């Protein structure tokens, strides 16, 4: 019995996706719930599992191609549990009237599986596929040296090395005192007397494309402005040093800086509700809850999972949630619903060494707090010059809702809370 493999629903308002890595090839036997292919949307990566035992008979959409929700991307020839599926069968065309089966999905990982082999070659192994993709070298012309003509990593290394060296000397054209080699026909390399320069186009992922669209949208549809302040981190660093061991023993997670800033942001949002509001023309919508997005670097781009009702979370809950988000973001396993919504965002560029930046708000939010690296700097304190660990903080905001006074007040409140963290405990 032939089963259509269709693109599942991947989230509200998402209609188009990109086909990711096929984990199974034509002729491969699969068991129920085996992952067949990864499907990438602009928010998350979804895995398509096999609905039953069977054999992959046809792949309609290759990796990198676009598809819409509900579109057939492949066929599976199902077998009953009592039958033993063959390890490999030749590719056959799908029947004219296949049976349609709804396929479940779950959030996937970024582990790259073998790719669909070209005619006359064996499967391309994961490490080889990654190397060939990064180098922009096609696998179609490579003869695999592994079992069953599998293309191994060693084959990929040889192919990439060969692609960077011309098969025959290029003609030399002398112009005055400078020599320049002309590129071979059909290549994109421009060779000079000192080096070889090349270009490698890489298809933009749906997530990267969506990030670009939203950043441009924020610039076009909001009146963005950024204000700055600096924070003395001495008190927080001393507090972390004093209680770090007890905190780990009791809660099983490290006490980081982010939990202090989340708690400080909650207090500042309560003090300046405009920063937590949303512009819905002709209204401004104020909120009595704080859903704070935490920007983390994911496996395929920046993602912003949301701490729901952060005003009700303590330090341990915040640190545990952020740690869990970071681990799952690296594996592209953050759930779609965890990325939606949010009333305010915190972005910590300091972990990458950023000293100062102007973050862009995540629409339709009205504010984003940017944190930066901590550096020891001389500052004036009580009439004396002392060295303190200082951090620049930045608030980008929508000037349609937030005036300069409110923005400065918000950052001043953050500064007060961090420089005297006992106020966070007393909520004053």
Looking up residue 31, the CATH number of its domain turns out to be 2.40.50.100
Is 159:129 a contact under the CB 8 Å cutoff? no
* Structure tokens belonging to residue 406: 């409110």
Instruction: Identify the helix (H) or strand (E) that includes residue 388.
Output: strand 384-398
Of 102, 281, 372, 399, which is the active-site residue?
399
Whether residue 313 is predicted with pLDDT greater than 90 in this model: the reply is yes
Q: Does 80 share its domain with 218?
A: no
Q: Does 92 share its domain with 216?
A: no
Domain end call among 176, 197, 218: 197
102 noted as active-site residue = no
Domain count, the chain: 3
Contacts with 384 (C-beta within 8 Å, 6 or more apart), sequence order? none
Whether residue 177 is predicted with pLDDT greater than 80 in this model: the reply is no
CA distance 205 to 209: 6
pTM for the full predicted model:
0.60
Q: Does 97 share its domain with 215?
A: no
Whether residue 274 is predicted with pLDDT greater than 90 in this model: the reply is yes
The closest alpha carbon to 273, from 366, 339, 170, belongs to 366
Give 136-183 as a 3 state SS string.
CCCCCCCCCCCHHHCECHHHHHHHHHHHCCCCCCCCEEEECCEEEECC
In a domain, 98, yes or no: yes
CA distance 251 to 272: 32
Exposure string (b/e) for 14-31, b if CB count within 10 Å is 16 or more? beebbbbbbbbbbbbbbe
Whether residue 201 is predicted with pLDDT greater than 60 in this model: the reply is yes
98: confidence class by pLDDT, cuts 50, 70, 90: very low
Whether residue 107 is predicted with pLDDT greater than 70 in this model: the reply is no
Mark out the alpha helices in 295-403 (DSSP H runs).
Answer: 315-330
* Structure tokens belonging to residue 89: 């069968």
Whether residue 237 is predicted with pLDDT greater than 90 in this model: the reply is yes
CA distance 417 to 263: 9
CA distance 369 to 347: 6
The closest alpha carbon to 343, from 404, 262, 416, 228, belongs to 262
Whether residue 267 is predicted with pLDDT greater than 60 in this model: the reply is yes
CA 392 to mean position of chain CA atoms = 26
The pLDDT of 41-61, averaged and rounded, is: 85
191: confidence class by pLDDT, cuts 50, 70, 90: low
Contacts with 82 (C-beta within 8 Å, 6 or more apart), sequence order? none
Domain of 267 in residue numbering reads as 207-426
pLDDT in tens, 215-228: 888 888 889 999 99
pLDDT at residue 343, as a whole number: 96
Q: Does 357 share its domain with 216?
A: yes
The closest alpha carbon to 53, from 86, 84, 78, belongs to 78
In a domain, 391, yes or no: yes
pLDDT in tens, 381-402: 999 999 999 999 999 999 999 9
Q: Does 178 share its domain with 292?
A: no
Q: Does 238 share its domain with 283?
A: yes
pLDDT at residue 95, as a whole number: 45
The closest alpha carbon to 161, from 196, 126, 137, 194, belongs to 137
28 noted as active-site residue = no
pLDDT at residue 142, as a whole number: 77
Of 105, 220, 283, 403, which is the active-site residue?
403
Q: How many residues does the chain have?
A: 428
Compare 11 and 323 and report the one with higher pLDDT.
Answer: 323
């Amino acid at each position: 019995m032939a089963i259509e493999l269709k693109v599942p629903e991947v989230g509200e308002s998402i209609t188009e996706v990109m086909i990711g890595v096929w984990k199974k090839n034509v002729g491969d036997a699969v068991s129920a719930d085996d992952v067949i292919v990864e499907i990438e949307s602009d928010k998350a990566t979804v895995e398509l599992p096999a609905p039953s035992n069977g054999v992959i008979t046809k792949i309609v959409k290759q990796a990198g191609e676009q598809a819409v929700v509900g579109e057939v991307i492949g066929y599976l020839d199902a077998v009953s549990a009592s039958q033993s599926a063959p390890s490999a069968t030749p590719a056959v065309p799908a029947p004219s009237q296949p049976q349609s089966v709804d396929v479940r999905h779950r959030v996937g990982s970024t582990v790259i599986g073998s790719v669909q082999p070209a005619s006359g070659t064996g499967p391309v192994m994961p490490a080889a596929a990654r190397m060939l993709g990064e180098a922009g070298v096609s696998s179609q012309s490579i003869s695999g040296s592994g079992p069953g003509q599998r293309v191994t990593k060693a084959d990929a290394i040889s192919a990439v090395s060969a692609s960077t060296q011309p098969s025959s000397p290029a003609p030399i054209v002398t112009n005055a005192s400078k020599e320049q080699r002309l590129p071979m026909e059909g290549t994109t390399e421009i060779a000079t007397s000192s080096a070889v320069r090349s270009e490698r186009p890489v298809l933009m992922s749906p997530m990267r494309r969506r990030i670009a669209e939203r950043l441009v949208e924020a610039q076009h549809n909001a009146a963005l402005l950024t204000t700055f302040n600096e924070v003395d981190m001495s008190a927080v660093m001393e507090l972390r040093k004093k209680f770090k061991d007890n905190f780990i023993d009791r809660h099983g997670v490290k006490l980081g800086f982010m939990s202090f800033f989340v708690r400080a942001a909650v207090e500042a949002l309560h003090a300046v509700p405009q920063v937590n509001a949303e512009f819905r023309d002709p209204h401004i919508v104020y909120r009595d809850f704080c859903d704070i997005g935490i920007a983390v670097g994911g496996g395929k781009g920046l993602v912003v999972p949301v701490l729901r009702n952060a005003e009700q979370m303590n330090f341990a809950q915040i640190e545990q949630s952020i740690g869990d988000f970071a681990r799952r973001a690296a594996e592209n396993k953050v759930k779609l619903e965890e990325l939606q919504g949010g009333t305010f965002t915190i972005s910590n560029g300091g972990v990458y060494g950023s000293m100062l930046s102007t973050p862009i708000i995540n629409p339709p939010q009205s504010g984003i707090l940017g944190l930066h690296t901590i550096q020891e700097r001389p500052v004036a304190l009580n009439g004396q010059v002392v060295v303190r660990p200082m951090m620049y903080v930045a608030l980008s905001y929508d000037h349609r809702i937030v005036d300069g006074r409110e923005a400065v007040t918000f950052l001043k409140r953050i500064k007060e809370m961090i420089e005297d963290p006992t106020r966070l405990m007393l909520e004053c």
